[in-house]
Amino acid sequence: MSENKNYDAKKERKKNRKRLWNRLNKNHRRSQELIKKYGITLEDYEVMLESQNHTCKICGTDEPRGVGAWKVDHCHTTGNVRGLLCNNCNVGLGLFKDDPAVLASAIKYLNESSET
Give tens-digit pLDDT for 10-30: 888 888 888 877 777 777 788
pLDDT digits over 47-84, tens only? 999 999 999 999 999 999 988 889 999 998 899 999 99
Helices (H), 1-116: 2-24, 26-38, 42-51, 87-95, 100-114
Distance, CA of 40 to CA of 103 (rounded, Å): 28
Residue 70: count other Cβ atoms within 10 Å of its Cβ: 23
User: Domains of the chain: which residue ranges?
Assistant: 1-39, 55-116
**Are 83 and 52 spatial neighbours (Cβ–Cβ below 8 Å)?**
yes
What predicted TM-score, i.e. pTM, was given to this entire model? Answer: 0.74
CATH architecture, domain defined by 55-116: 3-Layer(aba) Sandwich (3.40)
